């Protein structure tokens, strides 16, 4: 279940808690099962799917190799009980407000700059200046039904983001603008083709079956773009989804098959649930 779905359920919980269960509005007539059947049919046979596959598959020969993360004492990831260890760093609101102002005043989205800074850290740690990692986002395809925004399900998606830092003289703002332009173009070709499909084709061409192409995932809870209208006859919202989170005491979220799962988030107060909070 994605975060927007969690938000929908949390709003209904707030209504039920304050107004009673009979005040909870009825669910949409359109279902997530119907949505997935429509998407599957488009993935199997549609002009959009063929166009997106051509876009990604034409780049396979030039995409860089997988990111090689350094491991403690040269150890490999083949361990008896693999798992994630959560690390948390907080930025106070005043500092983030100042940073965000600097970002947006230059026509950039916070998610783009955070992604580039994260990628630069990966570059320094790995010694690589050209690599890919997975970017998770939420993608609800409009035009399928008027109630797409009201259904509960898993609308999480992922794509490969190529980071090319071979130009050592490139400044952060220049790099972020270039990456933002590239990511928007990639997102425009990622409604029906996923990072998993691109990775599978890449492994097939390079004769590396069952190999995870990139062991790193980046996920930001800030919007990447507000709205992209009428793209390939679709009206789509691309979000690095908002997380329903306030005073979290325990959090355990990890992407399967990854060595590093980096998430950027900001607290979001659920309307109605905290109306009596002080």
How buried is 75 (Cβ within 10 angstroms: 0-12 exposed, 13-18 middle, 19+ buried)?
exposed
Provide the β-strand partners of residue 133: 161
- pLDDT tens, position by position, 28-42: 899 999 999 999 999
Least confident of 49-53, 65-69, 222-226: 222-226
pLDDT of residue 16 exceeding 90: no
Closest CA to 265 of 139, 89, 97, 103: 89
Domains of the chain are 3-71+91-264 (3.30.559.30)
Report d(CA 6, CA 221) in Å as an integer: 14
pLDDT band per the 50, 70, 90 thresholds, residue 82 = low
Within 10 angstroms of residue 183's Cβ, the number of other Cβ atoms is 24
Percent of the chain with pLDDT over 70: 76
Question: Which pair of tokens denotes residue 15?
Answer: 């209504």
User: Of 190, 176, 36, whose CA–CA distance to 119 is shortest?
Assistant: 176
Which residues partner with 220 through β-bridges?
A: 264
Q: What's 268's DSSP letter?
A: B
pLDDT at 217: 87
- 111 or 247: which leads in pLDDT: 111
* Residue 159: strand pairing partners: 135
* Tens-digit pLDDT profile for residues 146-165: 888 889 998 888 899 999 99
pTM, full prediction: 0.76
Q: Which token pair is 165? A: 């830092």
Grouping H, G, I as helix, E, B as strand and the rest as coil, residue 254 is coil
Report the range of poorest mean pLDDT among 88-92, 102-106, 152-156: 88-92
Q: How many CB atoms lie within 10 A of CB 20?
A: 9
CB 5 within 8 A of CB 13: no
**Distances 205 to 131, 141, 162 between C-alpha atoms, Å:** 18, 30, 18
> Which of 23-32, 109-118, 262-271 has the lowest average pLDDT?
262-271
> Between 278 and 202, whose confidence is greater?
202
Is residue 226 over pLDDT 80? no
Stretch among 107-111, 165-169, 222-226 having the lowest mean pLDDT: 222-226
pLDDT at residue 238 above 50?
no
Burial of residue 76 (CB within 10 Å: 0-12, 13-18, 19+) is exposed
Q: In the predicted model, what is the mean pLDDT of residues 82-88?
A: 71
Q: CA-CA distances (angstroms) from residue 61 to 163, 209, 233?
A: 15, 16, 29
Q: What is the pLDDT of residue 264?
A: 82
Q: Cβ distance 130 to 64 under 8 Å?
A: yes
Check whether 115 has a pLDDT greater than 90. Answer: yes
Q: What is the pLDDT of residues 191-215, one digit of tens each?
A: 899 888 998 898 888 887 666 677 8
């Amino acid at each position: 279940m994605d975060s927007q779905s969690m938000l929908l359920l949390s709003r209904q919980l707030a209504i039920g808690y304050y107004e009673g269960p009979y005040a909870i509005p009825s669910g949409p007539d359109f279902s997530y099962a119907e949505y997935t059947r429509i998407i599957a049919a488009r993935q199997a046979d549609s002009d959009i799917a063929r166009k997106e596959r051509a876009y990604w598959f034409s780049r396979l020969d030039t995409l860089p190799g997988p990111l090689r993360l350094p491991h403690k004492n040269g150890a490999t990831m083949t361990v008896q009980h693999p798992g994630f260890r959560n690390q948390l760093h907080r930025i106070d609101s005043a500092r983030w407000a100042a940073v965000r102002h600097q970002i947006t005043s230059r026509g950039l989205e916070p998610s783009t700059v955070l992604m580039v800074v994260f990628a630069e850290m990966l570059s320094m740690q790995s010694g690589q200046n050209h690599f890919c990692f997975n970017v998770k986002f939420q993608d609800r395809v409009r035009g399928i039904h008027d109630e797409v925004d009201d259904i509960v399900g898993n609308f999480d998606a992922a794509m490969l983001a190529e980071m090319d830092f071979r130009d050592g003289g490139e400044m952060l703002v220049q790099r972020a603008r270039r990456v933002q332009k590239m990511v928007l173009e990639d997102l425009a070709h990622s409604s029906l083709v996923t990072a998993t499909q691109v990775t599978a084709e890449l492994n097939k061409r390079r004769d590396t079956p069952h190999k995870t192409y990139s062991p790193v995932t980046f996920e930001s809870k800030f919007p990447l773009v507000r709205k992209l209208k009428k793209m390939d006859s679709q009206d789509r919202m691309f979000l690095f989804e908002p997380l329903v989170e306030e005073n979290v005491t325990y959090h355990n979220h990890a992407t399967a098959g990854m060595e590093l799962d980096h998430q950027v988030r900001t607290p979001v107060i659920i309307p109605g649930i905290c109306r009596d909070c002080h």
